[in-house]
Amino acid sequence: MAPATVPPEQLATAQSSSIVVNGSHPEVIWERAIDVLHAYQFDIERENRLDGIIETGYQVGSGVLEPWRSDSVGLENRLESTLQSIRRRVLVSLSPAGSPGTTLITVEVLKEIEDMPGVAANSPGGATFQENSPLQRDLNLVVGQSTPSGWIPSGRDLALEHNLLERLRTAMAQ
């Protein structure tokens, strides 16, 4: 099972998931940050320009058979997303840096894995062809999970954070 937080040896790297960009127009920087998140197919759940915060909704991790999606960075993350249900959420913070005309952009990607309480017996036709029981007149038969699944925090996705920061740096240079 994955750790709940970033391991101590990666803590220094995790805390440095930010860049300083030059730009006199904060609106342009804000819109380019939104464009980069949309390029990764993250839906914006909340944005607050006064606080300088952009939050995305959760997105299910892309697997090996989804090369057009780029939220799983590297083969290891793609395999993990293929074999285990994973979702990610991005938090972007934009704040004025020390000198005038500079903005500090901080990116944090939270990763969670699915914790299913039992076996999910989802089979097509399960409600139609039941061979082990007599004829029933129940028309509201539901086959599937009996309880909702839960999600376990798996720490931060440093690879995606650094990938997003590189895309932001490239977008700000244009």
Mean pLDDT of the chain: 80
Whether 96 is covered by a domain: the verdict is: yes
Whether 128 is covered by a domain: the verdict is: no
Whether 139 is covered by a domain: the verdict is: no
In which domain, by residue range, is 64 found? 8-116+150-173
Whether 67 is covered by a domain: the verdict is: yes
Residue range 8-22, pLDDT digits in tens: 444 444 456 889 988
Amino acid at 6: V
DSSP H helix total and E strand total for the chain: 4, 7
Give the CA dihedral 102, 162, 87, 89, nearest 10 degrees: -10
Q: What whole-number percentage of the chain has pLDDT above 90? A: 41
Q: Domain count for the chain, please give it.
A: 1
Do the beta carbons of residue 9 and residue 137 sit within 8 Å?
no
CA distances to 33, 59, 76, 124 from 90, rounded to whole Å, are 12, 9, 20, 34
Using a cut of 0.75, tell me whether the model's pTM lies above it. Answer: no
- What is the distance of C-alpha 84 from the center of its chain? 14
What CA–CA distance (Å, rounded) separates 12 from 100? 27
Residue range 124-167, pLDDT digits in tens: 555 555 566 666 565 565 555 555 668 899 999 999 999 999 99
Strands annotated E in 16-71: 18-22, 44-48, 53-56, 59-60
Whether 125 is covered by a domain: the verdict is: no
